[in-house]
Amino acid sequence: MFVRNESFGSFIRSYPIVSGIVAIHLILFLWMFLFWSFGGYIIYALGLGINSAVAQGELWRLVTPIFMHVSPGHFLFNSFALVLFGPALERLLGKGRFISFYLLAGILANIATYYIGGLGYSPHLGASGAIYGLFGIYLYMTLYRKDLIDRDNSQLIITILVIGLIMTFVNARINVYAHIFGFIAGFALAPVFLTKIKRYTPQYQHVFDNDEISFNPNRWKKRRLSPNMKKKLLWVLFALFVMIGLFYR
């Protein structure tokens, strides 16, 4: 589910929404930091999440922080997280549902930041609230829609969530409200977006007899990891690295 085998071109064709969001991340980041004097400062000033400005009617600030980042590490780790965990959901939900879910989770995370953080809360940027929404729907699938996610990926999600819960409260610069309520929003929205999603199962399956006798000629040979298993292990380690980077950026 989380292991990517596509080339760059096929990834863009297969997952246009994830690719488009990452492209927006990149364009806005480069514009802000390479062309600060040519409109970059204006983009930063207008897109920053400022609760006091939202209170004065600048409601777009509930949306724009989802696509903007404050540093190279911030941009890279959030974009990597989206590339890792977004494609499976884009394929599962479809393009329209996926972008609707992603934006709703991010907006609800920013609304929670506005109401709970108060008018004096620090300005904020980043896609973390929306990304935590993805973790919320994955946890819902792990608990209530086991037909949509296998055991290995469920264990990976649980591991990531444990790390995320711990690290969220370690770094003082993290928007705790966005992380927590983005996750809650994703979990709450999951049954709505997964209502009509059904996993395809083959019509015919081989039935194994418990008394069936079989022989594996390689039974006593030393087991080695297949290339596919090695690739999967590397992606799992990379996913954990990305998640840790989200909190120590």
DSSP for 59-113? GGGGTGGGG--SSHHHHHHHHHHHHHHSHHHHHHH-HHHHHHHHHHHHHHHHHHH
Q: How far apart are the first and last CA of the chain?
A: 26
Q: Which of 113, 80, 104, 243 is nearest to 180 (CA)?
A: 113
- Written as six digits, the tokens of 244 are 């840790």
- Whether residue 2 is contained in a domain is answered as no
**How distant, in Å, are the alpha carbons of 54, 146, 153, 162 from that of 149?**
38, 5, 7, 18
Is there a catalytic annotation at residue 179? yes
Selecting among 154, 179, 206, 214, the annotated active-site residue is 179
Closest of 197, 36, 173 to residue 101, by C-alpha: 197
Indicate the angle between helix axes 128-144 and 176-193, nearest 10 degrees: 50
Name the band, by pLDDT with cuts 50, 70 and 90, for residue 101.
very high
Active site residue 206: no
Please give the pLDDT value at position 49: 96
With H, G, I as helix, E, B as strand and everything else as coil, classify residue 4: coil
Q: Return all residues near 239 (Cβ < 8 A) that are at least 6 apart.
A: 2, 84, 85, 156, 160
pLDDT of residue 245: 56
d(CA 40, CA 224): 52
Catalytic position from the list 122, 128, 214, 226: 128
Low-confidence winner among 1-5, 83-87, 116-120, 194-198 (lowest mean pLDDT) = 1-5
Instruction: Give the pLDDT confidence score for residue 100 in this predicted structure.
Output: 97
| Structural domain includes residue 205 | no
**Separation between Cα atoms, residue 114 and residue 87, nearest integer Å:** 29
Predicted local confidence at residue 73, as pLDDT? 86
- Number of separate domains in the chain: 1
Q: How confident is the model at residue 34 (pLDDT cuts 50, 70, 90)?
A: confident
The domain containing residue 92 runs over which residues?
8-200+223-248
pLDDT of res. 127: 93
For residue 142, the domain's CATH number is 1.20.1540.10
Average pLDDT of the segment spanning 193-219:
53
